[in-house]
Amino acid sequence: MTGPLPPNRHWDRGGARPVLALHCSLAHAGAWSGLAAALHGVTLTALDFIGHGKARDWDGVEDYHLAATAEAIALAETLSQGQPIDLFGHSFGGTVALRIAATRPDLVRSLVLVEPVFFAAAKVANDPEWPAFVADHRAFGALVASGRRVEAARQFHAIWSDGTPFDSLPDRMQTYLAARIHLIPAPWPMVLEDGPGLLAPGRLEAIRVPVLLVEGNLSPPIVAAVNRALARRLPHAHCMTVPEAGHMLPISHPVQLGALVTAHLAAS
């Protein structure tokens, strides 16, 4: 990558150990503030992905997942100073973190993947959750393609949010989500179809770093299907469930997640 680094935020939590945190779709770097407050002994940096927060807009042409990964790698290289770092990824960010671990293992000391939406893993594993999930997801994509952004945002929020009704959100948040809802299908060639081939034999098995896979017990069933599929193939993966939590658990349950992450980092 050439040019400036993506917009980012830093939290000094009393230690020089560098962590790069990658947020979910429709969020921004600030989504990690709660978890950062629950950690100690690290310096956490979080970026804004393309089209989010203060980052540049997506042009609708470039490979979104590839471009997001390239920007994350550029920031990771800056943070690493020649040494591997810890990567945190939530949802879409988890798929980017996994791709970095597969393509740039020199940069990665450990992984924390919170509900990574690498749905193709469930497909390849022939998980029974896949058919119903992909049918619903394609119907959502049709709403986006037809320009029905508010309806699409309302539907997406109902499935993946913390349970707050879309129409109860502040107007500015509703506008933010609807204006960016086209970014949800943008990485589908990777997350639904595994365009980069991460699921080819031996690719995930070659990731030798410690991996913490986290999910909420109230999340959509496809989340557990993805984590099951990844855990079977990542040699050093450990799965944990946060009770009474849904997909937005880094925001809704930062203390509980922080305890799991702290133990993971101590062992990594």
Phi, psi values for residue 239, rounded to 5° = -100, 135
The confidence band for 82, taking pLDDT boundaries of 50, 70 and 90, is confident
The CATH number assigned to the domain holding 32 equals 3.40.50.1820
**Residue 81 domain-assigned (yes or no):** yes
If pLDDT is split at 50, 70 and 90, which confidence band does 1 have?
A: low
**Residue whose C-alpha is closest to residue 177's, from 49, 46, 67, 25:** 25
For residue 175, is it within any domain?
no
The neighbouring-strand residues paired with 19 are 44, 86
Please indicate, yes or no, if residue 182 is contained in any of the structural domains.
Answer: no
In a domain, 37, yes or no: yes
Residue 52 domain-assigned (yes or no): yes
pLDDT digits 0-9 by tens, 163-207: 889 999 999 999 999 999 999 999 999 999 999 999 999 999 999
The predicted structure's pLDDT at residue 3: 67
Would 215 be classed as within a structural domain? yes
pLDDT for the residue numbered 164:
87
The 10s digit of each residue's pLDDT in 29-54 is: 999 999 999 999 999 999 999 999 99
Paired strand residues for 112: 88, 212
Residue 177 lies in a domain: no
User: Percent of the chain at pLDDT above 70?
Assistant: 99
Summarize pLDDT for 254-267 with one digit per residue, the tens.
999 999 999 999 99
pLDDT tens, 87-135? 999 999 999 999 999 999 999 999 999 999 999 999 999 999 999 999 9
Residue 169 lies in a domain: no
pTM: 0.96
- Alpha carbon of 219 to those of 78, 102, 159: distances in Å? 34, 26, 8
Give the residues across from 214 on adjacent strands.
Answer: 114, 240
- Report the candidate in 268, 118, 143, 131 with the shortest Cα–Cα distance to residue 208: 268
Quick: pLDDT tens for 210-250. Answer: 999 999 999 999 999 999 999 999 999 999 999 999 999 99
What range defines the domain where residue 83 resides? 8-126+191-267
Please state the domain count of the chain.
1
The predicted-structure confidence for 139-170, as pLDDT tens digits, reads as follows 999 999 999 999 999 999 999 987 889 999 99
Helix H or strand E segment including 216: strand 211-216
Please check the confidence at residue 2 and state whether its pLDDT lies above 70.
Answer: no
Q: Return all residues near 20 (Cβ < 8 A) that are at least 6 apart.
A: 45, 46, 47, 72, 75, 76, 79, 85, 86, 87, 88
